[in-house]
Structure 1
Amino acid sequence: MQLTIEEIEEKILNLPIKDRARLAERLIASLEIIEDQRVEHLWLIEAEKRLKEYRAGNIDSRPAQEALHEALKKIS
């Protein structure tokens, strides 16, 4: 017999606080993995878009060292 979400919630809310906290951490961590995967996927799409634009000659490039130096200058 499968429990309903309401039955699961009721059982969880009757657990000792330490167990509820542990379960909450695990649930949040599982959501973070999904979000991390989503963000990684979006960055991959953006990188592919930028590479396509670069190869088409629509954007310029510069050495990474130069870009990093400028970024560090701006935040310090």
Structure 2
Amino acid sequence: MIASPLEDIEAAALQLATADRIHLAERLLASLAKDDEILAAWQEEVERRSDAFDRGEIGAVDVDEAIAQTRARIATHRPA
């Protein structure tokens, strides 16, 4: 099977250092959030989650662990 350009970009992005992946994700999200209403909603969600974390209502997961969990979920849902 030939990899699509998106798969090539994804594979390259996943090889980046953690800080670089975070920066890339922020840039990609920002490119989608051209609408002020969407940006405001994201900011509210970030604040809500931050406050919940500060109150001990939610925990945090190491970024590498989160990526591993996400990859495992994706792998179980891919068509054969």
Q: Output the TM-score relative to the length of structure 2.
A: 0.47
Which structure has the greater CA radius of gyration? 1
